[in-house]
Structure 1
Amino acid sequence: MMKNWLVTCLTVALLLLSPFVPLSSAEASSKKENRSIMGSSTVTPQQMADFVKRKNPHNVRLEGVTVEELAKLFIIIGAKEGVRGDVAFAQALKETGYFSYKGDVLPRQHNYSGIGTVGKGVKGHFFRSPHQGVTAQIQHLKAYASKDDLNMTRVDPRFHYVKRGSATTWPALHRKWAMQPKGNYGTEILSIYREMERTQLRVAKK
């Protein structure tokens, strides 16, 4: 009996004396965070639209489509190609300034991710509809993240320039999709996504 008691006391003492360094919230979340480009969406189109309206309540300049309709396109087309459409939508928010379009690209281009833009006033590619613009972005992401064949007719004009499977995560797109001088392009997209993910669904008034 005395022996068991001594063993228990020694075990507790060792546990108390052992170094324990808790993970910071940032470290813990980074270990759990899904950074893959391919996968399923988890944020609803309504959450996505509500997030945009909260971040940019007065200057959404989309043409031929509402925010809600565009969000649905990202989810639907993303699912068809196996790309996380909700994170791709976050990429579009980063590229367009939450659809305020203060850069070179014009709203009527339906180019939500700056495909073909290189700065200095270069507009990049024009797409004939929101559906085509979203499809091109999703397919361009799939070109980087996967070696699988496309499931939809190819509309991405730069698909064949990409080394297939060369960037399977969002942070890996840095200096591939965008050459921004500071920070990490994909990490900033994920930051927008996390904030969007926390957006509460709008409660309809009775």
Structure 2
Amino acid sequence: MKNVFVYSIGMALILFLLISSTPSVSAASKKENRAIMGTSALTPQQMADFVKKKNPRNVRLEGVTVEELAKLFVVIGAKEGVRGDVAFAQALKETGYFSYKGDVLPRQHNYAGIGTVGNGVKGHTFRSPFQGVTAHIQHLKAYASTDKLNMTLVDPRFRYVKRGSAPTWPALQGKWAMQPRGNYGNDVLAIYKEMEQTKLRVAKK
């Protein structure tokens, strides 16, 4: 009888630990998914296919294809430890899926609206797509981390950022963009989620 009692207590303790630990694991996963720093989960081809689905006729990139640009985001993101695939989703938000209907021009290679403040101010111009993506990724790292850069600094506004002040995408609201409604970072994550879901539907065909 004593052994049965001890066994019952032991099983109850195990169940309690399993149940109580589940929320913390979920919370950690949710926090990780919202983090700017991390590893890309999508491939450049999946990202490019999403753009072509959303904007099949008006991609106005200069000096680079959508596939090549997506690869730059993944590769340069990996070098700096930034989620390049989500940064690509941010570029889609900033450029209208590369239709460029705002102040920035395609030839500027400014995929993040760095230096733009509205009212016709076009912001910074970068010499190449590589430099433009690097500046974008480095600007994100400035907000999300206090780690040193792994590549040569090209972001002209890196020094103006309070390092580590926005480790998650939602934390960029009011820092990267003064969006009057909703949350800037959540909008970026929503685009990423749609891009991810499109990939899964394509994979099943």
TM-score band, normalised by shorter chain: 0.7 to 0.9
Q: Tell me which residue corresponds to 1:53.
A: 52
Output one character per residue of 1:104-158: Cα deviation in whole Å (capped at 9) or x when no partner.
0000000001000000000000000000000000000000000000000000000
Q: CA RMSD in A?
A: 2.1
SS of 2:71 mapped into structure 1: helix
- Aligned partners of 1:200 and 1:108: how far apart in 2? 29
Higher helix share: 2
List per-residue Cα deviations over 1:3-40 (Å, max 9, x = no partner). xxxxxxxxxxxxxxxxxxxxxxxxx8997361000000
Gaps of 5+ in 1: 1-27
Q: 1:139-183 CA distances to partner (integer Å, 9 max, x unpaired)? A: 000000000000000000000000000000000000000001111
Counterpart AA for 2:90: Q
Which residue of structure 2 aligns with residue 135 of structure 1?
134
Tell me the equivalent position of 2:21.
none
Aligned mates of 2:144, 2:51 — CA distance in 1: 26
Equivalent residue for 1:84? 83
Alpha-carbon distance change, 98 to 80 in structure 1, aligned in 2, over 3 angstroms: same
How many pairs does the alignment contain? Answer: 180
Q: Which amino acid aligns with 2:63?
A: G
Map of 1:112-191 to 2, 5 A cutoff? 112-191=111-190
Query: What residue number does 1:32 align with?
Result: 30
- Distance, in Å, in 1 between the alignment partners of 2:29 and 2:154 is 35
| Max Rg structure | 1
**Alpha-carbon distance in structure 2 between the residues aligned to 1:56 and 1:29:** 35
- Give how far 1:87 is off: 0.1
Deviation at residue 198 of structure 1 after TM alignment: 1.3
* Normalised TM-score (structure 2): 0.83
Q: Given residue 162 of structure 1, which amino acid in structure 2 is its aligned partner?
A: V
Matched position secondary structure for 2:199: coil
Q: For 2:159 and 2:30, locate their aligned partners in 1 and report how far apart those are by CA, in whole Å.
A: 33
Change in 2 beyond 3 A, CA 1:176/1:58: same
Distance change in 2, residues 1:65/1:115 (3 Å): same
The amino acid that maps onto 1:161 is Y
The TM-score normalised by the length of structure 1 is 0.83
What is the percentage of aligned positions where both structures have the same residue?
A: 80
Q: 1: distance between equivalents of 2:30 and 2:183?
A: 19
Measure, in 1, the Cα distance between the counterparts of 2:109 and 2:51: 17
Deviation, 1:100, is 0.1
1:56-105 deviation per Cα after TM superposition (whole angstroms, max 9, x unaligned): 00000000000000000000000000000000000000000000000000
Segments of 4+ moved more than 3 angstroms: 28-33
Amino acid in structure 1 at the alignment position of 2:52: K
Structure 1 residue 200: Cα displacement = 2.8
